[in-house]
Amino acid sequence: MDPTTLEFLSLLVDQGPTARLLALCTFRPDFSPSWTGRSHLTQVTVHRLPRRQAAEVIRQVAHGKALPAEVVEQIVTRTDGVPLFVEELTKMVLESDLLEERQERYELTGPLPPLAIPATLHDSLMARLDRLATVKALAQLGATLGREFSYELLQAVSPWDEATLRRGLHQLVEAEFLYQQGLPPQATYTFKHALIQDVAYQSLLRSTRQQHHQRIAQALETQFPETVATQPALVASSRAGSPSPATRPVRALRRGVAPGGAGRLGHALVGCSPGGAVRGGRADVRRGHQREQSGMGWADAVGGKGRLIFLYSGVNLWLEHH
């Protein structure tokens, strides 16, 4: 984690005893935060899924239909209890020609090859993306725009006509590569997981990647002046030929931010004061009820009107205040 983000999280934790907020942070086991052990914090260890629960995830992904025992065994063994891996690997198997769907179950079409199931999540996601051959290029273009992108910006840099573009996006949403919020042309799309965006982006040829970034930078500067003003990191990343930030940029800077923090504060947003007002600067907040797209609902701030969900795994952040 970069020093500026770590400093921000430390400041957020310091406000815990006096501010009416609820913050939820997730991190990998190798990260050791300096604020553990404080009385107003509760740390919960999220263990890997046991075999029984991993098998249940497989059943749910298959819409309640049973998979052959040897397929389930390979999926459970290869995924090592990582939920996202279990889900994606199961989808990969269901979309392959290894299985044939019956009324209440799936059956193998032949002997199960020992290497038929990829051993890594990256390979699994790549295999699924390759099978979506007709829309793979669309996923790659979206990945170049970032973890989240708007329909309007995608259309501006897309070489396809509108009907083809909408069909392709619908297919990616149906395959759960993307989540959709709203309807075109006001729709926004978010990759289900940062790993999916990364796999799609890294699968681009270098020359094609550079062409995408060039078109994106030109479109932003000529057609989206407001985006250039509010999301300079997106323009800078396109000029530099690197993927744009994986999180929704946030127009909020706390007072006294460390040097270089402005470019990184897209990862974070200031907390709520006891009265529900935003503290520490301006924030890009949409009033009204907003749905959080990672599957988690809103968390009411303890004892106050402010609501805050802070999910650090990318980072995703949503805030509502009254």
One digit per residue, pLDDT tens: the chain, 322 residues? 788 888 999 998 998 889 888 888 888 878 888 888 888 898 888 888 999 999 999 999 999 999 999 999 999 988 888 898 899 999 989 988 899 999 899 999 998 876 567 778 888 889 899 988 889 999 999 999 999 999 999 999 999 999 999 999 999 999 999 999 999 999 999 999 888 999 999 999 999 999 999 999 999 989 998 888 887 777 777 777 655 443 333 333 333 333 444 333 333 333 333 333 333 333 333 333 333 333 333 333 333 333 333 333 333 333 333 3
Helices (H), the chain: 3-14, 51-61, 69-79, 83-95, 121-131, 133-145, 151-157, 162-174, 194-202, 206-223, 225-230, 232-240
Neighbouring CB atoms inside 10 A of 287's CB total 8
Q: How far apart are CA 204 and CA 136, in angstroms?
A: 10
What is the predicted pLDDT for the residue at 309? 34
Q: Which of 123, 63, 94, 206 is nearest to 214 (CA)?
A: 206
Cα–Cα–Cα angle for 179, 311, 177, rounded to 5 degrees: 20
Q: How far apart are CA 215 and CA 141, in angstroms?
A: 11
Q: How far apart are CA 71 and CA 276, in angstroms?
A: 51
Neighbouring CB atoms inside 10 A of 275's CB total 12
Neighbouring CB atoms inside 10 A of 206's CB total 8
C-alpha distances out from residue 265 to 14, 229, 247, Å: 18, 15, 10
Residue 300 has what DSSP assignment? B
Q: How far apart are CA 189 and CA 185, in angstroms?
A: 11
Q: How far apart are CA 268 and CA 105, in angstroms?
A: 45
Residues in the chain: 322
State the pTM of this model: 0.58
What is the predicted pLDDT for the residue at 178? 96
Q: Dihedrals φ, ψ of 237, to 5°?
A: -65, -35
What is the predicted pLDDT for the residue at 243? 53
